[in-house]
A = this chain, B = another copy of it.
């Protein structure tokens, strides 16, 4: 599950506004999708995911957090993106190795869509950099490393989460 601080950074980088249409591609547990939906509460949010177990979690999190404007789209990107309405902002948390096609599909719908891609693997980071560069999109790359000490103990021991890379870009603004 994407951790709180990283989710918050994704929302900030996508600059989600209340009326936006937002997509979460490769939504996993839906932790980011729910936050996107709550931030775009007068708009619509779409979580694209093909794994059955993850889909069940997304539905559960949708109910649990009252993200009623979030729709689960069962399927594989980029095919499943065809039917979706034009997005203002798109988070890509998983691409199944088809990041280039997915970014292409997003920009075909809306060339000015605000994009954010997360990468845990160095290979994903590097391929995302190549794809953004080939599309002439200037990506800002951010690495977020969070450590946390749980409340309640006698001693506060800093425990590290694994670092996450975020690439964000927008054709219009250079973001």
Instruction: List residues of A whose CB falls within 8 A of some B CB.
Output: 4-5, 7-9, 11-13, 120-126, 129, 138-152, 155-163, 169, 174-175
A135 to chain B, nearest CB (A): 13
Point out the residues of chain B lying under 8 angstroms from A148, CB to CB: 140-143
Question: Which A-B residue pairs are the 6 nearest by beta carbons?
Answer: A126-B126, A138-B151, A160-B160, A8-B8, A8-B12, A121-B155
Option from B5, B155, B159, B162 in Cβ contact (under 8 Å) with A147: B162
Q: How far is the CA of A149 from the CA of B9 in the complex (A)?
A: 15
Q: Check A151 against B169 for contact (C-beta < 8 Å).
A: yes
Residue of B nearest to A154 (CB): B123
Q: Within the oligomer, what is the number of copies of this chain?
A: 4
> With A and B bound together, what is the CA distance between A125 and B123 in angstroms?
10
Chain B residues near A8 (CB-CB < 8 A):
5, 8-9, 11-12
Q: Are B163 and A161 in contact (CB under 8 A)?
A: no
Shortest distance between the CB of A107 and any CB in chain B (Å): 16
Min C-beta distance of A1 to chain B, whole Å: 14
Q: Is the CB of B151 within 8 A of A122?
A: no
Which of B142, B145, B151 sits near A175, CB closer than 8 Å?
B151
